[in-house]
Amino acid sequence: MSTVDHTWSDPRSRATEYRARSGSALDTIGNTPLVPMTRLTADTGVTILLKLEYFNPTGSYKDRMALAMVEQAERRGEITPGSTTIVEYTGGSTGSSLSFVCAVKGYRLLIVTSDAFSEEKIRTMTSMGAEVVIEPSVGGKITPDLMPRIIDRTRKLAEQPGTYWTDQFNNPDNALGQQTMGQEILAQTEGRVAAFVASVGTAGCAMGVATVLKAHDRAIEVHVVEPDTSAVISGGPAGTHGIEGIALGFVPPLLDRELVDDVIVVDEADARAMANRLATEEGIFAGTSTGANVVAALRLAAARPDLGTIVVPAVDSGLKYISTDLYPKPSLTIGN
């Protein structure tokens, strides 16, 4: 893969260097709100800010990286609308984001995913024109062998003529796209950030944001989050869990430990409970990985009350999980 420039620009530029275009729906990616938690932090005395990435057009922070991976490949002359078929594997949100970008730009998109991921994500992909191949899971869970099987199937599809594999786990353009989030955080906080806390799937978000924050101030801490049943970054074995989009059974190649200050391991049940509390107590309707991020941030705040402002990405919308058991089903009462 070609070498790309990983430098960052002044946050006031909105990192639009690689996003020049005449105007389209793609311009709605980024510039998401940064809001404080209030009720859940009332007893801590610590400011925790949530970056509401579900304000992106497909309801996910993955829109940033999908745009970067496609447009950087265009810049290098590796793909052309109408003649290139883009191929990718995904836990759902990357596929939705690529479907959006490819629909706007006119690329055919072939996605490999699994029934371990929510129906909403898969139907979003097909609704925007993607062709989807389903790799079956075991009991609807993310098992250690699932992602290797998905990747192997994708690799074979990418051998076909006229295809381009964006390969999100190994593509530095992934992290490049997420640098825009870091630049927005610096602008929105006027540079006053003590820590960034984020769960890890591809590690593109954590590394992209970390690159920007630590270039601004090396003292800013970056804490990555993973579930206790598959804590591979912490040195544990790969295991089974149900938090979509993170902890896929191996240490992601994009993870740079030089940019990581600590790894926080959380219980999946706590993450799910926190997602529900965010909805009912803060009005933040997000997925389980966001719940995991907030559990970790609150734990960090409790351990170090003088740390300063903590920023956490609310990575996607709870609307992506309505068909799952994350949120309670409605109990209907028929009145007289």
Residue that the structure tokens 């984001």 belong to: 97
Could you write out the DSSP letters of every residue in 209-260? HHHHHHHH-TT-EEEEEEEGGG-TTTT-----B--TTS--SS--TT--GGG-
Distance CA(184)–CA(194), nearest Å, equals 15
Distance CA 109, CA 123 (A): 14
Distance CA 152, CA 150 (A): 6
DSSP strand E in the chain: where?
Answer: 34-36, 48-52, 85-89, 108-114, 131-135, 163-165, 195-199, 221-227, 262-266, 310-314
**Angle (nearest 5°) at CA 37 between 201 and 245:** 15
CA distance 257 to 2: 23
Question: What span, in angstroms and rounded, lies between the C-alpha atoms of 96 and 93?
Answer: 5
The token pair that represents 333 in the structure block: 């009462």
Instruction: Decide the pairing of beta strands 221-227 and 85-89.
Output: unpaired
Catalytic residue numbers, as ranges = 62, 289
DSSP 319: G
Residue entry with tokens 């995904």: 90
